[in-house]
């Protein structure tokens, strides 16, 4: 069953769009997308998810069709998590299972830190684990770094994204959605992300995810002793050139219980291999 788009839900923290599938009363699964995508990224997976789940997939601030406030502090991942908590409160959601990919995976971890009593299961996909300080430090300390991270430095440079991306959204996104994927993504998927990234202000709001990284990192330094109490699943597209396998070192130390699964895919595994991702979710999520 496909997700349905709800165009506008206004809460105190702003206006947020989301997609939903399933009947009220079923176990809730919240699915958070990453950059440079939107909640549309979950459409392929939802076609294969088992029935009985109520799926809620919001557009994060600054992406998709949600608010594009430009202040940098709003893009600290703890603040983005508070957006999601407020949205779920407004929708009357109590306990839920949580899935996050890329920056959505970081926001998911911040949600799980903020309200662990409401997050019954946690799924992370192709993103670093924020309390895995040893592995994250080792990756960042690798000699020569990772040249595939160039886009992060590009966006962190003041004014550069704003000067060069508007009007060139298809070329910009093609650098990631075509070359960063293990399998080419369908044109309709790319068209949707180009539409969203062409909304005025998105060059700034998209870049703010990376400009806020320095503040995020300072916060996460204190999480070395944290262990996720809820059951965890980490799904990894093993052809990812940015979230490299070294990020998975010591992951078992970060959870009370975690299962790690690899899929032959690039970074955008939920769109490249939706049936395989859905099979893992169907096995892990509770209905």
Rounded to two decimals, the pTM is 0.96
pLDDT digits (tens, 9 = 90+) for 42-87: 999 999 999 999 999 999 999 999 999 999 999 999 999 999 999 9
pLDDT in tens, 95-128: 999 999 999 999 999 999 999 999 999 999 999 9
Total count of domains within the chain: 1
What's the pLDDT at 180?
62
- Residue 6 pLDDT > 90: no
Q: Please give the residue range of the domain that contains residue 269.
A: 4-284
* Dihedral over Cα of 277, 279, 285, 287: its sign: positive
**177: CATH:** 3.40.50.1820
Residues 196, 194, 217, 224, CA torsion sign: positive
pLDDT tens-digit readout, 16-40: 999 999 877 899 999 999 999 999 9
Number of alpha carbons in the 13 Å side-chain half-sphere of residue 51: 2
């Amino acid at each position: 069953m496909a997700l349905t788009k709800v165009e506008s839900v206004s809460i105190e923290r702003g206006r947020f769009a989301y997609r939903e599938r399933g009947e009220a009363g079923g176990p809730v699964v919240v699915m958070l997308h990453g950059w440079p995508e939107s909640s549309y990224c979950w459409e392929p997976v939802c076609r294969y998810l088992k029935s009985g789940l109520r799926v809620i997939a919001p557009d994060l601030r600054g992406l998709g069709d949600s608010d594009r406030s430009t202040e940098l502090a709003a893009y600290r991942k703890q603040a983005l998590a508070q957006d999601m908590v407020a949205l779920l409160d407004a929708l009357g959601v109590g306990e839920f299972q949580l899935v996050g990919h890329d920056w959505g995976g970081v926001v998911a971890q911040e949600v799980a830190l903020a309200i662990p009593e409401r997050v019954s299961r946690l799924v992370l996909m192709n993103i670093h684990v924020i309390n895995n300080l040893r592995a994250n430090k080792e990756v960042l300390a690798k000699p020569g770094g990772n040249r595939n991270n160039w886009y992060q430095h590009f966006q962190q440079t003041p004014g550069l994204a704003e000067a060069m991306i508007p009007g060139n959204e298809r070329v910009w996104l093609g650098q990631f959605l075509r070359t960063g994927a293990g399998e080419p993504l369908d044109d309709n998927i790319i068209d949707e992300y180009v539409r969203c990234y062409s909304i005025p202000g998105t060059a700034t709001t998209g870049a703010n995810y990376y400009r806020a990284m320095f503040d995020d990192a300072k916060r996460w330094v204190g999480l070395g002793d944290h262990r996720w109490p809820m059951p965890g699943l980490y799904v990894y597209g093993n052809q990812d050139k940015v979230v490299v396998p070294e990020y998975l070192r010591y992951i078992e130390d970060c959870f009370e219980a975690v299962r790690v699964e690899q899929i032959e895919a690039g970074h955008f595994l939920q769109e490249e291999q939706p049936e395989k991702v859905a099979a893992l979710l169907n096995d892990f999520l509770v209905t």
